Amino acid sequence: MPRHFIALSDHTAEDLRRYLDLAKLIKLNPRAFSKACEGLTLAMIFQKPSLRTRVSFHVGMSQLGGQAINLGPKDIQLHRGESVSDTAAVLCRYVDGVMARLFAHQDLLDLAAVSRVPVINGLTDFNHPVQVLADLQTIEEKLCRLAGLKLAYIGDGNNMAHSLLSGGSIMGMHVAVGHPEGYAPDANVVAMAREQAAHAGGSVLITSDPAEAIADADVVYTDTWTSMGQEAEAAERLARFQGFQINEALLGYARPRAIFMHCLPGHRGEEVSAEVMDGPRSVIFDQAENRLHVQKAILVHLMGHKR
């Protein structure tokens, strides 16, 4: 398995299965892993504000017997007098692992290229692998399998769409992305997902018709229409994304047992209606909880195993 956790596409289905199985064990018996990272320190770099990522990684390291150090924009000199490579070279002399939540994906790749300790992707503008690993755990808990299920993502072809395409296709799911014109996912990500799906028995559908994407879906997923750093585009996006809101009418195209997912924060009345987000099919807070368990599995595997 890779020594960093940068993208789901870096992993095989067997790799992801090991993480999911370990996360299940940790969730069932967290005390058995209470010393897995004893004496170890995780540096957490944040260029973006964070609730779930910051708290889940901090609590996760604490529950594993280690500690986490938070480094916000005012604490670290990325691109402000110190190169990314120099920052990484210094940090890895002090800590046992680095988790970074950054804007530019290339900055994360540059960190990992220099770092002598594991680097974990807490989110970039290109992908969000820790979130999707938690999503896969949640889907399996709710629907008892992954392979063969249809996962429909509706909205911007953004970092979430990229990681869902990667993770879902690797695990043999049928992944459909319904996006407004001009907001398609990255063509290279789609091409790789199609190759992975063909190998695993799944499929990939990219369409500008949300009803086509959702038809017979087992999982319906959306994300905010305007992410951090895109505030200037908010009005245009609100207009362009009309018709892509997950509401009861659109959800009606999915299977009766379909679950609704959102990586949060969610905006009721925009990308999802309140009745869906707060309804019986919604598993959004189970997703949020599972961030803790899968990230602990990542920390145990990447950091704890070396002791």
Give residues with Cβ within 8 angstroms of 52, minimum separation 6: 264, 288, 291
Strand-pair partners of 302: none
| 210 torsion bin: left (phi>0), alpha (psi -120 to 50), beta (else) | alpha
Short-list 108, 83, 116, 114, CA closest to 6: 108
Strand order in the sheet with 67-71: 67-71, 41-46, 97-101, 119-123
Considering the chain, tell me which residue range(s) the CATH 3.40.50.1370 domain(s) occupy: 8-128+291-306, 131-287
Q: 112, 53, 76, 49: which is closest to 302 by C-alpha?
A: 112
**Cα distances (Å, whole numbers) of residue 103 to 12, 100, 107, 163:** 26, 10, 8, 16
Write down the pLDDT at residue 88.
Answer: 86
Active site residues: 101, 128, 131, 223, 263, 291
Query: Within 13 A of 295's CA, how many CA atoms are on the CB side?
Result: 33
Tell me what percent of the chain is helix, strand and coil, each rounded to the nearest 5.
45, 15, 35
Fold of 8-128+291-306: Rossmann fold (3.40.50)
d(CA 18, CA 117): 21
pLDDT along the chain (307 residues), means of 10: 93 98 98 97 92 96 98 76 84 96 95 96 98 98 98 98 98 98 97 98 98 98 84 84 97 98 96 98 98 98 75
Select from 5, 102, 114, 128 the least CA-distant residue to 45: 102
pTM of the prediction? 0.96
Q: Which CATH number fits domain 131-287: 3.30.2270.10, 3.40.50.1370, 3.40.50.300, 3.30.70.340?
A: 3.40.50.1370
The residues, any chain, with a CB within 8 Å of residue 181's CB and separated by 6 or more, are 208, 240
**Considering only CA atoms, which of 180, 171, 122, 123 is closest in space to residue 153?**
180
